[in-house]
A and B are shown apart, each in its own frame.
Chain A
């Protein structure tokens, strides 16, 4: 019979040695693991977008795509619709017009669990190439009123992909706007100090506070309109930029025109003829917001 103490000591020693070995291995491999993960993610993103760089907005879910000169060229998002065998990890790239730049469906090795030979055909080029250049309304299967051909004998998986992509576009399209540049709405300032995260900044020149810059939104005709406004100490608008809008092309979208936006710096403009709802919504929202943020100007 072995004494209890001997058992405890042996077990303790073995456990100690094992943990020391493991912590060494972990500290050696963990940077490599993180590195490999990042590379894989980046490679996956580059497959669906021609952009050079990606800025993560929602971890592992949403990225802003930047071209070589650092301008926003679209977004990339991931969705996980329920297929036949489990959820299907899909990466989708969108350009600024809301058109799909590419779709990537994870391989079986990366967690796609559709039936090999049937549902798994959704990863094949013939199927995913169909999505390129399509907008949300064209994405559903032909039999569901869209323009995508389903894979024979894999309707459930094909439909899941289409519906997933469509839902994703609906959900993330708000992020499509180019990254607003605070310099554009407050050209005199040199520096911006964040007061409310992603919403409100002080515009500084040296140590002087010149005014504020804020991001806000209005209820437009089709969708919400997000905009950025600069206001100086006297309550005068220094600039307005549209961050995101999805109004009727050619009509409501006229609120994006430079001429209209520049009018704000010379007092409130008139509504745009033919785009009264969109432009009035923007004008009223800006008026209200300036009043709301007035206290920060004192």
Chain B
């Protein structure tokens, strides 16, 4: 049960974006459409999972003084790998995410999990933690992306939602930057009201 708890707490209870308010930069910047948001979420999950696993694996032989540079090296290696693969196999998504793919390196969510959890726990627990936090991040981004794309562009995954008339005159505001701030504020307020605090 403890393992199950490690996995699930990143999903909702300690959701990086909506509860802990970290990793906000990509959450605000690339949640304009569902596809971009989901792609970003998957990329971050990949990096989070593998960097957590590797860091947990070598945690006993990493000298305390140089742990941060080592973590960053490992994280940036995985970011570069996902960057190359996305360029090769998902060029459209790669162009849409732009600079936010390389910026995963400095996402405090990932270094945060490495420092706070993976460097002190077993490989399996670190893997579950990385997966949980990553999926939670993906969920939050996908929810934001869906709302913003439906309201702001009148489409969902590129398909027309709410009919042609709405697609022609959507709430443009939602797809622009201020819409992202407004939405995350509303989501945060809803969560504060309905999700019980421990």
Contacts and interface: CB of A to CB of B under 8 A. Distances in A.
A110 B97 CA distance: 10
Instruction: Find the residue from A6, A21, A117, A118 having the highest chain B CB count within 10 A.
Output: A117
B87 interface: yes
A25 B172 contact: no
B172 A10 contact: no
B66 A11 contact: yes
A199 interface: no
Interface of B is mostly: helix
Interface string B50-88: 000000001001111110011001101100110011011
Interface string B159-179: 000000000001010011000
Contact-residue size bin, chain A (C-beta under 8 Å from the other chain): 20 to 34
B88 A2 contact: no
A25 B77 CA distance: 10
A26 interface: yes
A22 B77 contact: yes
Given A10-B62, A14-B70, A29 B84 contact: yes
Given A116-B152, A117-B172, A109 B92 contact: yes
Nearest to B82: A25
Contact-residue size bin, chain B (C-beta under 8 Å from the other chain): 20 to 34
A71 B80 CA distance: 43
A116 B88 contact: no
A22 B81 contact: yes
27 contacts: A2-B63, A6-B63, A10-B61, A10-B62, A10-B63, A11-B66, A14-B70, A14-B73, A18-B73, A18-B76, A21-B77, A22-B81, A25-B85, A29-B84, A32-B88, A33-B84, A33-B87, A33-B88, A36-B88, A37-B91, A40-B91, A108-B96, A109-B93, A109-B96, A116-B32, A116-B152, A116-B153
A6 B61 CA distance: 9
B89 interface: yes
A8 B80 CA distance: 24
B152 A18 contact: no
A2 B74 contact: no
Given A11-B66, A116-B152, 7 more contacts: A2-B65, A7-B65, A18-B74, A21-B77, A33-B87, A115-B176, A118-B172
Contact of B87 (A7, A36, A108, A117): A36
A271 B71 CA distance: 79
A84 to B, nearest CB: 13
B188 interface: no
A195 interface: no
A2 B84 CA distance: 36
The 7 closest A-B pairs by CB, nearest first: A117-B172, A32-B88, A2-B63, A109-B96, A29-B84, A18-B77, A29-B88
B95 interface: yes
Contacts of A108: 96
A70 interface: no
A118 B169 CA distance: 10
B175 to A, nearest CB: 5
Contacts of A32: 88-89
A118 to B, nearest CB: 7
A110 B91 CA distance: 10
Given A2-B64, A11-B69, A116 B175 contact: yes
A111 interface: yes
Contacts of A22: 77, 80-81
Interface in B79-138: 80-81, 84-85, 87-89, 91-93, 95-96
A15 interface: yes
B91 A25 contact: no
A275 B172 CA distance: 58
Interface string A1-30: 010001100110011001001100110011
